[in-house]
Amino acid sequence: MSQNLIKPGFDVLVFGDENVGKSAILNKYCAGDFEINSEIQRLESKNCNERHKIIQANHENMQVSLWEYQNWAMHGMLPLFFGKPYAIIFCYDVTNRKSFKNISNWISKFDERLIKNFTGILVGNKSDLPRERGVSYNEGKKLAEKLGLLFMETSAEYSKNIDEIFNILLRILALNFDR
């Protein structure tokens, strides 16, 4: 098999309230850029944005599709992921308590078919703003444990834990994909 061949890989879905930093996290991961290009923003949907990144997994080049959901209106697309390896990132802003409380609302939208078959992580973004913090690290960790999710805090602006989130999720997906 050619090393240049790119196989379809994994899907990563990102949910969370507006302005929690979903776009910033994905831009930093995919392009290494914190700023969102205004031309690109105009081309993206108001409901769901898709990005791609080529990764090395199982000694093959695979394309990861990253889906950023702006609101719950696009939940009808979720059945497209049944039977495929996928992960979900639930994102909140550590400076915005309401976005943290809304994580339970986002998760409650999933039915049993979805909740059983994914790898998930709870991400508290904007950890670089300690003076504005409205949610402690321990609160985030406790909620993640309660929901059966992995947990990490990030700073998209300073690249803190951005690659780590995806490395962990994709490593787990790659292990499950081999089975």
Q: Kindly list the domain boundaries of the chain, sorted by start residue.
A: 6-178
Is 169:132 a contact under the CB 8 Å cutoff? no
Dihedral of CA 28/103/45/120: which sign? positive
Strands of 37-84 (E only): list them: 48-57, 60-69
pTM: 0.83
**CATH superfamily ID and name for 6-178:** P-loop containing nucleotide triphosphate hydrolases (3.40.50.300)
Residue owning tokens 């943290």: 100
What confidence tier does 72 reach under pLDDT thresholds 50, 70, 90?
A: low
CB count, 10 Å around CB of 45? 10
Give me the pLDDT at residue 124, please.
98
Residue 42 pLDDT > 50, yes or no?
no
Highest mean pLDDT: which range of 76-80, 117-121, 164-168, 173-177: 164-168
Residue 162 pLDDT > 60, yes or no?
yes
Average confidence (pLDDT) over 133-156: 96
Strands of the chain (E only): list them: 6-15, 48-57, 60-69, 86-93, 119-125, 150-153
Distance of CA 63 to CAs 6, 7, 57, 76, 80, Å?
Answer: 6, 6, 10, 23, 17
37 forms beta bridges with: none
Residue 33 pLDDT > 50, yes or no?
yes
